[in-house]
Amino acid sequence: MSNTTQDHSGGLAKGSITPLEVGMQSVANVAPSAVIAFTPAAMAAYAGNGTWFSFLIGLGIVLVIAYSISQIARRRAGAGSLGILARPALGASGSFATGWALFIGVVAITAGSLPGAAYFLSRALDNVHVTGFDGKGGQIILNVLVLVVATYLTITSIRLSARVSSILELTSIAVIVVVLVIVLVKSGNFFDTAQWKLTGSTLNGIVFAIVLAILGFVGFESAAALGEESQNPFRAIPRAIRGSAILAGVLYIFAAYAQVGAFKGGPSALATSASPMDDLAVQYGISWFQLLLNLGITASFFAVVVACINVAGRLLFTWGNEGLMGSWLAQAHPKHRTPSHAIYLVFIPILIPPVWCLLAGLAPLAVVTYIDTVGVFGYMVAYTLICLAAPIFLQKIKAREVARAWVIGLIGAAALIYVFYRNIWPIPPSPVNTLPYYFLVLFILGLLGFFLVKIRRPAVAAQVGTFADDNPSAV
């Protein structure tokens, strides 16, 4: 393994982020509270009593992916996240494909989280009798406001954005867990035999719900984008990746079980709820929790926006340093040492999709589901490529874990490919059936652009994935 040393003068604030703050970035990007707020209900429409089981399978797949990412991350680090991790095994083309798929995923998840934050913020305002933001115009105003605040925070300080996001997220998790414990105990359905037996669930329904389950984990690897700024990145980043996945998985399995078990009318009623946590609070006489719940879920969606902008900005910053995109993207803020130009660039692509969907008359949480689903396909492609890259990389450096890495990597890649396949065949109902193709069009356009660069500027294309540091002590 070559030992790469980059000239980072004038760039990001190298070594400025503690291991705890690195972990905060991944937790904030996963944002379990936002997932708990609506994902179990969406999954219940397909998996019913098997919703918790879909989450369990999703956790297993994510841990397999986490293993593959960690095997490279403890040997290589940089601001380009999974793109720079893929480079030693898959070359410049594989590095770009991985990074571009991740970039689409990050931008889409950010765009999908905006209407989530705006929707629950408007509900919190309703709780204190401040009305006027529930309609289309009010929701668009809140979307813009959330994005402006998040952009300011990510440019001001990576440490501040990580701390604010994680504090908001952990507080929100605490509130939601308390509410779920209360309603589950009050329901008298603590041991729900229908869920343990997966009563009424089908294999197709459970598998289809897995893509939404994986959506709940996306971003668990986002600490990898802080390789340039992290203290001891070769230890801190793998730990953050594994820890955030396990924390989220345990919370999701419990939340799905509690919501399905406690919701009056069962999984079919839960699937039709526009705001399951609010409805549970009302059903069990703790409606005074609604304001805290709505504020907490707002904070969680906001944390996703902040964390994803951090990743998107650093991907563009890396491509700017490598010469693939304009060199102005590689310019860090002179005071804050953040990739400010890159962050400004992603503002409009993030804002357009939710505003377009809201103007088209879609409900805010439907916008969240549709745009986020496009994003999760991007993450799935990036994760698949990393699962294949890890054993190739380890084989190249003659590491001891090669055989195990091949087994685990192939399991992870096969699982992700199968989940993708099951979401295009049998053909799901409209508009869900169109979502994978939105991603594929964007992905192919990016690849075509890169191959044009390979033809016209081969030396530039060859540099993709090289803006990184290798750990000379790891074998």
How confident is the model at residue 11, as a pLDDT? 78
| Residue 475 pLDDT exceeds 70 | no
In a domain, 451, yes or no: yes
| pLDDT score at 474 | 59
> 216-230, pLDDT tens digit by residue?
898 899 989 888 888
- Rounded (10°) CA dihedral 326, 440, 113, 301: -90
On the question of pLDDT at 8 being above 50, the answer is no
Question: Terminal CA-to-CA distance of the chain, rounded, Å?
Answer: 8
Q: Which band of pLDDT confidence, cut at 50, 70 and 90, is reported for residue 6?
A: very low
Q: Which of 292, 263, 101 is nearest to 178 (CA)?
A: 292
> How sure is the predictor about 473, in pLDDT bands with cuts at 50, 70 and 90?
low
Instruction: Using the predicted structure, report yes or no on whether residue 7 has a pLDDT greater than 60.
Output: no
Task: Estimate to the nearest angstrom the gap between the alpha carbon of 245 and the chain centroid.
Answer: 11
CB under 8 Å, gap of 24 or more: what pairs does 390-397 form? Answer: 390/67, 390/68, 390/69, 390/71, 390/72, 390/89, 391/68, 392/89, 392/90, 393/71, 393/72, 393/75, 393/88, 393/89, 394/71, 396/1, 396/88, 396/89, 397/1, 397/75, 397/475
Query: Is 90 exceeded by the pLDDT of residue 284?
Result: yes
Q: In angstroms, rounded to a whole number, what is the distance separating the alpha carbons of residues 450 and 454? A: 6
Q: What is the mean pLDDT of the chain?
A: 90
Residue for token digits 């989940």?
A: 419
Q: Which domain covers residue 366, as residue numbers?
A: 19-466
For residues 279-299, average pLDDT: 89
| pLDDT above 80 for 213 | yes
Contact partners, residue 254, CB within 8 Å, separation at least 6? 177, 180
Q: Is the pLDDT of residue 20 over 90?
A: no
Strand, helix or coil at 76?
strand
**Considering the domain boundaries, does residue 7 fall inside one?**
no
Q: What's the mean pLDDT in 109-128?
A: 94
CATH number at residue 387: 1.20.1740.10
Q: Can you tell me the mean pLDDT for 4-13?
A: 54
Residue 97 has pLDDT above 90, yes or no: yes
Q: Count of domains in the chain? A: 1
pTM score, two decimals?
0.90
pLDDT, greater one: 204 or 72: 72
Do 227 and 237 contact (CB within 8 A), yes or no? yes
> Residue 465's pLDDT is what?
92
Q: Estimate the share of the chain in helix, then strand, then coil, as percent rounded to the nearest 5.
A: 75, 0, 25
The H-or-E segment that residue 310 falls in is helix 290-321
| pLDDT tens readout for residues 124-171 | 999 898 988 989 999 999 999 999 999 999 998 777 777 777 788 888
Give the mean pLDDT of 317-333: 89
User: Where do the H-state alpha helices sit in 48-157?
Assistant: 51-73, 82-127, 136-156
Residue 40 forms beta bridges with which residues?
none
Q: Is residue 419 part of a domain?
A: yes
Q: How many residues does the chain have?
A: 475
For the cut 50, the answer to whether the pLDDT of residue 298 exceeds it is: yes
Return the minimum-mean-pLDDT range out of 20-24, 350-354, 439-443. 20-24
Average pLDDT of the residues in 10-27: 79
Under 8 Å between Cβ of 78 and 318: yes
Is there a domain that residue 430 lies in? yes
What pLDDT, on a 0 to 100 scale, did the predictor assign at position 121? 95
24-45 pLDDT, tens digit per residue, is 788 878 888 888 988 899 899 9
Q: With 50 as the cut, is the pLDDT of residue 359 above it?
A: yes
Does 49 map to a domain?
A: yes
In a domain, 2, yes or no: no
Cβ atoms 176, 296 nearer than 8 A: yes
> Which tokens hold the place of 73?
């991350």
| For residue 3, pLDDT beyond 70 | no
Q: Is residue 141 part of a domain?
A: yes
Q: Is the pLDDT of residue 1 over 60?
A: no
Query: How would you class 384 by CB atoms within 10 Å of its CB: exposed for 0-12, middle for 13-18, buried for 19 or more?
Result: buried
Tell whether the model's pLDDT for residue 112 goes beyond 90: yes
% of residues, the chain, pLDDT over 70 = 97
Q: Find the farthest-apart pair of alpha carbons in the chain and give their distance in angstroms, rounded.
A: 67
pLDDT at 12 over 60: yes
Helix (H) or strand (E) holding 469: strand 469-470
In a domain, 411, yes or no: yes
Question: pLDDT digits over 398-429, tens only?
Answer: 988 899 999 999 999 998 898 788 777 777 78
